[in-house]
Structure 1
Amino acid sequence: MSAPGSPIGRASPLESTLRELRDTELLYCPNPGNAGDVFITCATYQLLDRLGCRYRLIPIDSPAEATRGRVVLYGGGGALVPLYGAATRFIDAHHASAAKLIVLPHTIRGNETLLAALGGNVHLFCREMPSFEHVKRHAAAARVDLDDDLAIHFDCERAAREAEQRFWPFVSTPGLAWRNAKRAIRGIPALLAGRAEHRLTALRTDTEKTDIGLPRGNVDLSNVFNVRLLDPLHSLEATWRMMRFIDRFDSVTTNRLHVCIMAALRGKRVDFLPNSYGKNRAVYEQSMAGRFANVTWCESTPPLPTTTPAASV
């Protein structure tokens, strides 16, 4: 096992693995989900390009025959938990026939039967210690490493430069004009609520939400900036748009892991709260504590404006 935070100049376990595969075409299946997963996907493209890897995208419903004898990457995220099924189904369908299956840094809970079935051709990267310990316990034949969530090392400035060259300021492209108009409308409550304190509240409204009352002006950014197409162009556009929205604020309160990571990278003050099953705290302790002085872990809710149990926009 190798932990993040290696001395400068030493590659992470994931980087070392990918460098060894630079002469091989990789079949990459991004992990679908919300805008946090889009952010991870965008960071993955940055990493693959920086390392000089050759890759081709494949859809999550690809048949096993499409990956037989090939090296497959499954995108990082938090999908290998009992709440979700798409990642489990993909790995179950492809692990036996692929020459090598690499699962990029993930949170992993449950899935004991699948983990026990994985062979030595499977390399699982876990993004926090509880996942690492769980996988080591149940995936006896697979290779397991610990590494950062890929978004932690995202190059915001590089992404901004590339996006500004590719996209128009408001609409991005004619085809994305209506989508960005809807994003702007859905972001208005947060802009109005945060005017006085320049604070953004972005709390979850999905299956990983907690019992926190949602304040007026709450906007679940990972829903607002989500896209279905996870190719390099669309993942860059959505990630850049979310980054620009966060840049309007000085501080952020969130229980969305990747809103926290992006806000931390942008130098915002962040109050980071738990999600429903412990993922946030585990990633914070593994990769953020001691690295981002501007992020504060909050086991309980910090003072917020008047709250309401109703779902946010």
Structure 2
Amino acid sequence: MMSLSMVTGNYAAFPYVVPKSLDECLSGLEHFIYYPNPGNLGDELIAASTVTLFDRIGLSYEVYEEGRDYGEAYTLVYGGGGGLVSEWDWHEVMAPVFSSPGLSRCVILPHSIRGCRSILQLMDERFTVFCREHRSLEYCRKFNQKASFLPADDMAFYLSPLLLPSWESLVERCAEPGILLRLFSGMNLIKEREAHLCRFYRKTCRRLLRHLSSRVQLLEDGRRVGWFLREDQERDEAFASCLPPVPRMDVSRYGGGDCRWHDYNMMGVYMLLHAVNAVDVVVTDRLHVSIAAAMAGRETMMIDNSYGKLSGVYEQSMKPLSHVSFCRNMEELLLQLRRSNVPVPNHERRD
């Protein structure tokens, strides 16, 4: 049976302490509908951390189902992430959800929000919105004076690898007939959907393990450097054009989905943690690769995405972590690599 290794880092900083404003907001809710933000492995880390926190607090909730009528007065909690930015069209999907006539209260967990004034216009006194970087907080407060906007760390910071079940127990649970029965109650094709998800994660895990062996930079001293760089529209093209010709991979795209199934989210978290645990140094413009690497105690060099998400979260939540650095430009990245004795092809200093 395929197995993913547990990280072996120092977990002392994780989970972060939940801020009083977020704790009181969630603890004060009665039964609510939880709508996770979909996406990649990073979003699965967010979703896994969120549900773990819900259960730790002892909250009563159910996962959102498309097309279901929730009545005239219900509370919605929308999961954290980066869906409400102009680079993606997901804010268009959420607009009718936020404008539903039955919605009596809405909590949006720590999010990046930018370039979506139309979605902000839907938010009134019913909305409490947490922002994971100061830039998003300022943007929201500038264009909306009705909703409550508050700062908070990205939800992924509230998870520790020590809180995870074992990989073997996840595989066993996800292989059991009926695990999705609670999630697809009354629907046909339950077994087919379950089998598809099991096959998807097993196949994706094998692909991740295979690629990790060949897509990392092996140094002469035996250390391994993971250049885990994004390949989508959030990539900073100017920075990317300056990067050296080294092996690289976009780890976050080795999984993900609608993030509604907790055990599968946990499997995605294991895949992400295994990837960062397989190397000694991580260079990335992926926010949740950075957070996972920080959890694992790996030396982490962050570079920004196209709209400043990583720099914002670094300033708000990661600056105190001594093994994590943020590099604003190629010169700073090269300096950090030299300090760590990581040779970079075509970028070596010429005396």
TM over 0.5: yes
**Equivalent in the alignment of 2:116:** 111
Q: CA RMSD in A?
A: 2.7
Tell me the amino acid that sits aligned with residue 297 of structure 2.
Answer: G
**Equivalent in the alignment of 2:326:** 297
1:184-263 residue pairs with structure 2 within 5 A? Answer: 184-191=209-216, 193=218, 196-211=222-237, 212=240, 213=243, 215-263=245-293
Deviation readout 1:56-86 (Å, 9 max, x if unpaired)? 1114xx3484464111111100111111122
Match of 2:207 among 182, 193, 199: 182
**Equivalent in the alignment of 1:20:** 28
Q: Distance in 1 between matches of 2:107 and 2:71?
A: 12
In the alignment, is residue 146 of structure 1 matched against residue 151 of structure 2?
yes
Three-state SS of the structure 1 residue aligned to 2:121 is: helix
**Equivalent in the alignment of 1:311:** none
Distance 1:229 1:151, change over 3 A: closer
**Which stretches in structure 2 are left out of the alignment for 5+ residues?**
1-12, 177-194, 335-342, 347-351
Q: Distance in 2 between matches of 1:228 and 1:112?
A: 25
Q: Distance in 2 between matches of 1:10 and 1:44?
A: 11
Distance 1:63 1:118, change over 3 A: farther
The Cα shift of 1:27 comes to: 0.8
Distance 1:67 1:264, change over 3 A: farther
In the alignment, is residue 74 of structure 1 matched against residue 74 of structure 2?
no
Distance 1:228 1:122, change over 3 A: closer
Match of 1:124 among 125, 129, 133: 129
- Determine if contact 1:186/1:224 at 8 Å carries over to the other structure: no
In the alignment, is residue 56 of structure 1 matched against residue 85 of structure 2?
no
- Determine if contact 1:225/1:239 at 8 Å carries over to the other structure: no
The Cα shift of 1:256 comes to: 0.4
Tell me the amino acid that sits aligned with residue 299 of structure 1.
Answer: R
Q: Distance in 2 between matches of 1:70 and 1:33?
A: 25
Q: Distance in 2 between matches of 1:140 and 1:64?
A: 31
Distance 1:286 1:244, change over 3 A: same
Deviation readout 1:100-124 (Å, 9 max, x if unpaired)? 1111100111222321332111111
Aligned residues: 293
**Equivalent in the alignment of 1:47:** 53
User: Considering only CA atoms, is the larger Rg found in Structure 1 or Structure 2?
Assistant: 2
Distance 1:56 1:251, change over 3 A: same
Distance 1:183 1:146, change over 3 A: same
- Determine if contact 2:44/2:256 at 8 Å carries over to the other structure: yes
Three-state SS of the structure 1 residue aligned to 2:235 is: coil
- Determine if contact 2:226/2:283 at 8 Å carries over to the other structure: yes
Match of 2:107 among 92, 102, 108: 102
The Cα shift of 1:25 comes to: 1.9
**Equivalent in the alignment of 2:188:** none
Q: Bigger relative contact order, structure 1 or 2, given CA contacts below 8 A and separation 6+?
A: 2
Distance 1:210 1:130, change over 3 A: same
Three-state SS of the structure 2 residue aligned to 1:99 is: strand
Three-state SS of the structure 1 residue aligned to 2:214 is: helix
Bigger mean CA deviation after superposition, 127-136 or 81-90: 81-90
Distance 1:11 1:105, change over 3 A: closer
- Determine if contact 2:229/2:283 at 8 Å carries over to the other structure: yes
Tell me the amino acid that sits aligned with residue 281 of structure 2.
Answer: S
The Cα shift of 1:248 comes to: 1.5
TM-score (norm 1): 0.85
Q: Distance in 2 between matches of 1:95 and 1:236?
A: 31
- Determine if contact 1:192/1:217 at 8 Å carries over to the other structure: yes
Tell me the amino acid that sits aligned with residue 135 of structure 1.
Answer: C
Tell me the amino acid that sits aligned with residue 288 of structure 2.
Answer: H
Three-state SS of the structure 2 residue aligned to 1:166 is: helix
**Equivalent in the alignment of 1:158:** 163
Percentage of pairs with the same residue: 25
Q: Distance in 1 between matches of 2:253 and 2:90?
A: 18
The Cα shift of 1:143 comes to: 1.4
**Equivalent in the alignment of 2:192:** none
Q: Distance in 2 between matches of 1:219 and 1:9?
A: 32
TM-score (norm 2): 0.76
Bigger mean CA deviation after superposition, 129-138 or 189-198: 189-198
**Which stretches in structure 1 are left out of the alignment for 5+ residues?**
308-313
